[in-house]
Structure 1
Amino acid sequence: MRVVLEVKFYGCNEIEENKLIFVVIMAKFNNKWVVVRHKERNTWGIPAGHIELSESVEAAASRELFEETGAIDFTIYPVNIYSVNNGEQETYGQLFYAEIRELGELPQTEIAEIKLVDELPKDLTYPLIQSILAKRVQKYVEENF
């Protein structure tokens, strides 16, 4: 059976913050997109993670960007809230764009390496979702920067 995923976008205040589970941060450094490879995978991904209990969405995005890329000086912008529906449940997250000015040492967490790219690689960990989120951020950047 094939799973069909539906991704929807909402304004940044349309969904209550306590319903948000994930943050996804499309980031640029030296005018290149930053992608990450998890230690247990051979595929690439956009920096992302879970919002911890009692953590604000913005704090989660900043923490995940640091933990997954080593970014120590950056500006982060909220783009949209998004949802992913797999036919059984709908989950919500916040999509961000970040401009990284300085990368420090990559923290010794779950990320093995980062890569700077002009375009997202074809071998994404979650290609259906990540490609849709990436297009939304690229549109946001074109319209706002």
Structure 2
Amino acid sequence: MQIKFYNQNALDKKKYSIIIPLYEGKLVLVKHEKRDTLELPGGHIEKGETAEMAAKRELYEESGATSFELTYLCDYSVEKNGDLGYGSVFMAAINKFGNLPNFEMEDKFLVGEIPENLTYPEIQGEFIRKYLVKNGENFEFKEI
């Protein structure tokens, strides 16, 4: 597998938006109802959506975040087993949560460490390590 990072808006054929969200210094991860692992919020960019629109929608649907500041970080590609996927990475500073919408996520978790049980550890772990730094028991975003 190979992950590449690109400047903002470097790619046209983006299919995914991934969000690295923080709330009060903790990383927000979500648990899908059909998996035992944790993951970053994100998903497919739907027809008619921009990557940013998809990121905002996915962050709300998967975490219940109702007030947040979203920042576009970069585009990325992942090549795995001959398949190539493209997307955008965003960071989010969450101010407020509402109830978790009744979609596909079972719960959300605030973590102070990168867990070993990430759904896609080689991909999402790389995003987290690239853009977050530990400060005591909390995370902070790295300078862009």
Map of 1:69 onto structure 2: 63
* % identical equivalent positions: 38
In the superposition, the TM-score normalised over structure 2's length comes to 0.92
Which of the numbers 49, 54, 57 marks the counterpart of 1:55? Answer: 49
Map of 1:91 onto structure 2: 85
In the superposition, the TM-score normalised over structure 1's length comes to 0.91
The yes-or-no answer on 1:28 pairing with 2:22 is yes
SS state at 2:132 partner: helix
In terms of fraction of residues, the more strand-rich structure is 2
Structure 1: which 5+ runs fail to align? none
Number of equivalent positions: 138
The yes-or-no answer on 1:7 pairing with 2:3 is yes
Does the 8 A contact of 1:35 with 1:120 survive in 2? no
RMSD of aligned C-alpha atoms? 1.3
The yes-or-no answer on 1:121 pairing with 2:115 is yes
- One-letter code aligned to 2:10: E
Q: Distance in 1 between matches of 2:52 and 2:108?
A: 22
CA displacement 1:94-113 (0-9 Å, x = unmatched): 00000000000000000000
Map of 2:143 onto structure 1: 143
**4+ runs of 1 displaced by more than 6 Å?**
none
Structure 2: which 5+ runs fail to align? 134-139
In terms of fraction of residues, the more helix-rich structure is 1
- One-letter code aligned to 2:7: G
